[in-house]
């Protein structure tokens, strides 16, 4: 059986499932698969990269390129 056929069978089965426990387990499996996929994409940065990002952030803050937390919270309320 190919992957497309398996997906279709799962979809057809899932549409008929009424048991909330089974749905919860399937949903948790989906979340775990998404986390695993995202984790595989994340690559740790070097200490040099980390320090460079800190330096850039500090330079932006000194240059007034940062948004004050109070201003940001006010803006978020209006989204």
- Give yes or no: residues 34 and 62 share one domain: no
User: For 25-61, how does the pLDDT look when each residue is reduced to its tens digit (9 = 90+)?
Assistant: 999 999 999 999 988 888 889 999 999 999 999 999 9
- Give yes or no: residues 7 and 33 share one domain: yes
- Give yes or no: residues 33 and 58 share one domain: no
- Give yes or no: residues 35 and 7 share one domain: yes
Structural domain of 7: 3-41
- Give yes or no: residues 52 and 35 share one domain: no
- Give yes or no: residues 7 and 35 share one domain: yes
Contact predicate 55/48, CB 8 Å = no
pTM of the model: 0.48
User: For 55-65, how does the pLDDT look when each residue is reduced to its tens digit (9 = 90+)?
Assistant: 999 999 999 99
- Give yes or no: residues 70 and 53 share one domain: yes
Query: What are all long-range contacts of 3-11, with beta carbons under 8 Å and residues at least 24 apart?
Result: none
* CA 46 to each of CA 43, 49, 52: distance values in angstroms, whole numbers, following the listed order: 10, 5, 10
- Band of residue 1 on the pLDDT scale cut at 50, 70, 90: confident
Residue 19 has a pLDDT of 96
Transcribe 45-75 into DSSP letters: PPHHHHHHHHHHHHHHHHTT-SPPHHHHHHH
Q: What is the count of structural domains for the chain?
A: 2
Residue 3 has a pLDDT of 93
Q: Residue 26 class from Cβ within 10 Å (0-12 exposed, 13-18 middle, 19+ buried)?
A: middle
């Amino acid at each position: 059986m190919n992957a497309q056929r398996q997906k279709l069978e799962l979809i057809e089965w899932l549409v008929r499932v009424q048991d909330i426990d089974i749905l919860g387990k399937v949903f948790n499996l989906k979340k775990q698969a998404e986390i695993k996929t995202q984790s595989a994409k994340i690559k740790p940065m070097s200490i040099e990269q980390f320090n460079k990002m800190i330096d850039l952030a500090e330079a932006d803050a000194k240059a007034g390129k940062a948004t004050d937390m109070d201003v940001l919270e006010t803006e978020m309320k209006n989204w």
